[in-house]
Structure 1
């Protein structure tokens, strides 16, 4: 059963060493993420699942202790997912894998979104419970995402989700995806849905439009929607800004 969820953006710039002090505008985003993770801790879950976008090589499950790194962004910062180590992390055969039949491989490095999540978990108040990761392909069909979310929220455990992903990357002329006039409206609807825990609205997000707007959070948000079916969770929007022309949203469901 899903008892709480935190939704956070996943730019590596959330890691101060990556930002190198050049992104003070993200201080508020970091603070909002910390508040959202505090909601997870207060819910006292039995298990925490971190969900984030991944490319083809990063899809699948990640055991507790899986390694991540920001060396590709020019800084000597390494992270691990949760409390464990890769050598001691045990696969969870019951955990769903909506993207591929690969076994859990803790030696595989976390995709950037899950590495950011691991950094957040290491630097904020979080539930002291087993953690596992799920990397999701950004093109995964909506129905598949919803079914995966249902499986994650199996009724025998109190489950919390940390859901990573960005909104559109097309809010300004200097944005990674250039300016797209549809971006502001798309982001506003996502912000409204996340802030009000509107499960049907998240399920109905247009995957084609999300891909065109480079919104990496669409598939993870729809996994959240599947997990939150038949719950009475309420939502709160903690942050909604678009520095660098990319929509960053933070929300907490409890």
Structure 2
């Protein structure tokens, strides 16, 4: 049963060593993520599952490691209670492992990568399955909003992006699983939304759980929509 979830974005710039001189610009985002992860770990969950996109669908149940070497930083992370050896985590899950490391998490942790183009019904079903892995499951859900929020954004400016992100933020603020489940894959892809698939896994896991929600952060630095929320 799902008892809590933390929803965070996953830009590598969250890691101060990667951001370097620009690190202070995202201090507010880091603080919101730390608060969300902290509440997740205090929820009484006996198993944490980290969910994010990856190049292929994959599950890590006995450890897993990631690094930020691709960004020129000699920094490695691992899942709590998992060996540093093992399958390499996707970039999104690597940020999740870093967030858990910062929080000194000690709970058993699995990780689940989903392809960004996965159909909603499969994601909802996956979420339902993850919620049944233990009596008390917590999810750390990683995903960014639209990367088309400004002319300097990776996808340039798309006038639809702000409205899309506002719908997602409102749904995350209300634990609105129906709205998240209904996010359009085609529109999400056009707006370069990384979080659609992980959010729909959350929607499946949380259906009928009766969780409340708190929106902790919503902004679009660098033209990419970032939102942080706690469900419990």
User: TM-score band, normalised by the shorter chain?
Assistant: over 0.9
- Cα distance in 2 for partners of 1:170, 1:156 equals 38
The residue correspondences of 1:2-81 to structure 2 (distance < 5 A) are 2-56=2-56, 59-81=57-79
Task: Give the distance between the partners of 1:129 and 1:23, measured in 2 at CA.
Answer: 28
- Runs of 4+ displaced beyond 3 Å: none
Aligned to 1:146: 124
Report if the CA contact (8 A) 1:67-1:81 is conserved: yes
Q: List alignment gaps of at least 5 residues for structure 2.
A: none
How far residue 63 of structure 1 moved from its aligned partner, in angstroms, is 2.9
SS of the equivalent of 1:133 reads strand
TM-superposed CA distance for 1:44, in Å, is 1.0
Partner of residue 241 from structure 1, selected from 193, 213, 219? 219
- In the alignment, which residue of structure 2 is the partner of 1:104? none
- Could you state the TM-score of these two structures normalised by the residue count of structure 2? 0.97
Compute the RMSD of aligned alpha carbons.
Answer: 1.2
Q: Give the number of equivalent residue pairs.
A: 232
Q: Quick one: which of 166, 169, 174 aligns to 1:191?
A: 169
What is the alpha-carbon distance in structure 2 between the residues aligned to residue 55 and residue 155 of structure 1? Answer: 24
Q: CA deviation at 1:195?
A: 0.9
Higher relative helix content? 2
Superposed displacement of residue 70, structure 1: 0.3
Bigger drift between 146-155 and 215-224 goes to 146-155
How far residue 108 of structure 1 moved from its aligned partner, in angstroms, is 2.2
User: What is the aligned counterpart of 2:151 among 130, 148, 173?
Assistant: 173
Structure 2 counterpart of 1:119, from 93, 98, 104: 98
